[in-house]
A and B are shown apart, each in its own frame.
Chain A
Amino acid sequence: MKRNTAMVILAAILIAASSVLYLLRSQPAQGRRVLIVSTTTSLFDTGVLDEIEEAFEAEHPVDLRFISVGTGLAIEHARRGDADMILVHAPTRERAFLEEGYGVCRKIIAYNFFAIVGPGNDPAGIGGLPPTEALHRIVEAGRADRAVWVSRGDDSGTHSKEKGLWAAAGYDWEDLRDEDWYRESGTGMGRTLQIAEELQAYTLTDMGTYLKYAKEELITSEVLVGEGEALINVYSAIATNPAANPDANFEDALTFIEFLTSNEGQAIFAGYGADAYGRSLFLPAVKLLRERTDPVIAAWIEGFAYIDGSECPPEYRAGREDLYG
């Protein structure tokens, strides 16, 4: 009996010691620093950040640690000081984040388009219509029990966009959510697409996630309303303001923002998904905005995602004018 007890205690000590040793390995290697990045799910779940991480870590003594959450939660993380920087896609909320003094050095890094997808037989007849008209038809069909709409309902960037689209079409999202045909999934884009598939419903999606799910044959929904000014989707990087959170790793956050906007970082966005999906999931925005290579799209991005006529007004640049040359 005594021997048994001794062996149990010995085993417990061994387990604890080897566990501690193993977990110490996750500490960054000697001389490397940690940068915590809270990111919108679409950038993370599509895998583009994996490629960016690999390229960045090879050049800099910084370990990137991505936390994949919706835009709403990413901003909350940064407010609380739990993230050194954020990658998000909801310009109105980004503006509030800057104005409250929590974020600085915002840079637009990439864009693509949202799409309204739905069942192939398109019961509301929205195929090819402009977004506002399409939403009118969905409301009519929904109230006549012919269509269902699934909303993210999770305060993400896509959800913010959806609310904006309803407002542009003359509806108040708060009223619609009480109606029977309007469902809220309260979850990420991928799950929401699958729920829409099950319910034969319409939903708003970012193209990256949609293409990925369509390719894996998890959904058969079709893009019914796509590319256009109203559906533009713009991704930005914002550093946590060191004045608000002195603990934040501001130096490395700026190094990473510089990398994302560099030719190398932009080329990763441009190339990602071209082989697998026949088109890029995210389109680089830096050169487009600087040199206005496509004036129409540049104007769309400016109209939707600029704050007081600039991607980051001078008072929120933390003295880093060089980023905005």
Chain B
Amino acid sequence: MNAKVTSEILEGLMRALTLIASGDRALIEITLRSVAVSGLATVLAACWSIPLGVLLGLGEFRGRLAVRGVFNALLGVPTVTLGLVLYLLLSRSGPLGFLHLLYTPWAIVIGQAILITPLIVSFVASAVEAADPEIRCLALTLGASEAQANLTVLRESIGGVLLAVTASFNRAIAELGVALMLGGNIRGATRLLTTAIALETTRAEIALSIALAAVLLALVAAVSLSMNLIQRRMSK
């Protein structure tokens, strides 16, 4: 790595530390907003994706594999494509324009929730499929209903489910396309870590971009680590 790049990265890291240490208001606000938007999107998506994942993993109905295939394929949807489609829907001249959601944090929440839905569905489906089939049989023979038996399997596969949720949160908080197209990167309203990084780069504020990127990385790492710890404690 040449000297200029190294010094730029070091300068960025120093900048990150100074910003954090001085409690920079804009940085704290952007970081908290990123966490809130992606956290809410993850919880929302989990509400409908986990049951769907269990259904697809354990249910017995025609077309199950086809539906799973569709969700697996949707894992790769580019964020800008999703952003564009939702922009057209939410635009004031679009079918959902009357909701006035475009350029608000709520639009990003919806976009990210949709973005990570296939991720949670596919991971949860795989996790419950991989669980020991004996557990479900045992629960059924002990008099559990179908739903109760499925819930037992879900509890057994809690590790995989938590992994799905963590990965989804990380995907949401690190994506740019949806946040930029639906949020518009408005200061004080919809600016997130990723859109701020993109903006500061075009504004030639390279050190600040690196500082923001460092915060984002630290955040993702912290979430992954703590989920890891929780998962271990729960599976004891």
Residue of A nearest to B202 (CB): A190
A121 on the B face (CB < 8 A): no
B155 on the A face (CB < 8 A): yes
Number of B interface residues at 8 Å Cβ cutoff, please give it: 40
Which of A19, A65, A245 is the one whose CB lies under 8 Å from B39? A19
Contact check, B46 vs A12: say whether CB atoms are below 8 A apart: yes
Contact check, B199 vs A68: say whether CB atoms are below 8 A apart: yes
Contact check, A23 vs B105: say whether CB atoms are below 8 A apart: yes
Contacts of A213 in B (CB 8 A): 204
Contact check, A19 vs B186: say whether CB atoms are below 8 A apart: no
Contact check, A16 vs B44: say whether CB atoms are below 8 A apart: yes
Contact check, B44 vs A65: say whether CB atoms are below 8 A apart: no
Contact check, A218 vs B37: say whether CB atoms are below 8 A apart: no
Chain A, residues 168-203, CB within 8 Å of chain B (1/0): the string is 000000000000000000001011000000000000
Contacts of B103 in A (CB 8 A): 36, 65, 67, 82
- Also in contact, A80 and B105, with CB within 8 A (given A15-B39, A19-B36): no
B234 on the A face (CB < 8 A): yes
- Also in contact, A80 and B36, with CB within 8 A (given A45-B203, A188-B202, A190-B204): no
Contacts of B106 in A (CB 8 A): 23
Complex-state Cα separation, A5 to B153, whole angstroms: 13
Contacts of A22 in B (CB 8 A): 32-33, 36
Contacts of A26 in B (CB 8 A): 33, 104-105, 188-190
B228 on the A face (CB < 8 A): no
Contacts of A63 in B (CB 8 A): 188-189
B88 to chain A, nearest CB (A): 9
Complex-state Cα separation, A188 to B201, whole angstroms: 11
Main DSSP-derived SS at the B contact region: helix
Looking at B17-25, B70-78, B90-98, B140-148, the stretch in contact with chain A turns out to be B90-98
Pick the most buried of A19, A47, A82: most chain B CB atoms within 10 A of its CB. A19
Contact check, B39 vs A216: say whether CB atoms are below 8 A apart: no
Residue of B nearest to A191 (CB): B202
A:1-54 near B, CB below 8 Å? 1, 4-5, 8, 12, 15-16, 18-20, 22-23, 26, 36, 41, 45-47, 50, 53
Number of A interface residues at 8 Å Cβ cutoff, please give it: 37
A123 on the B face (CB < 8 A): no
A212 on the B face (CB < 8 A): yes
B217 to chain A, nearest CB (A): 21
B114 on the A face (CB < 8 A): no
Complex-state Cα separation, A36 to B104, whole angstroms: 11
Contact check, B36 vs A216: say whether CB atoms are below 8 A apart: no
Contact check, B93 vs A218: say whether CB atoms are below 8 A apart: no
B187 on the A face (CB < 8 A): yes
A66 on the B face (CB < 8 A): yes
Contact check, B203 vs A245: say whether CB atoms are below 8 A apart: no
Complex-state Cα separation, A262 to B150, whole angstroms: 68
Contact check, A18 vs B36: say whether CB atoms are below 8 A apart: yes
Contacts of B189 in A (CB 8 A): 26, 63, 65
- Also in contact, A82 and B92, with CB within 8 A (given A12-B46, A20-B40, A68-B185): yes
30 contacts between A and B (CB under 8 A): A4-B234, A8-B158, A12-B43, A15-B39, A16-B39, A16-B44, A18-B36, A19-B35, A19-B37, A19-B39, A23-B37, A23-B40, A23-B106, A26-B189, A41-B202, A46-B203, A50-B187, A65-B184, A65-B186, A67-B185, A67-B186, A80-B92, A80-B93, A81-B92, A82-B91, A190-B201, A190-B204, A212-B203, A212-B204, A218-B206
16 extra A-B contacts, CB within 8 A, seeds A63-B189, A245-B92: A4-B158, A12-B46, A15-B43, A16-B40, A18-B36, A22-B32, A23-B37, A36-B103, A66-B187, A67-B184, A67-B186, A68-B185, A188-B202, A190-B201, A190-B202, A247-B92
Residues of chain A at the chain B interface (Cβ within 8 Å): 1, 4-5, 8, 12, 15-16, 18-20, 22-23, 26, 36, 41, 45-47, 50, 53, 63, 65-68, 80-82, 188, 190-191, 212-213, 216, 218, 245, 247
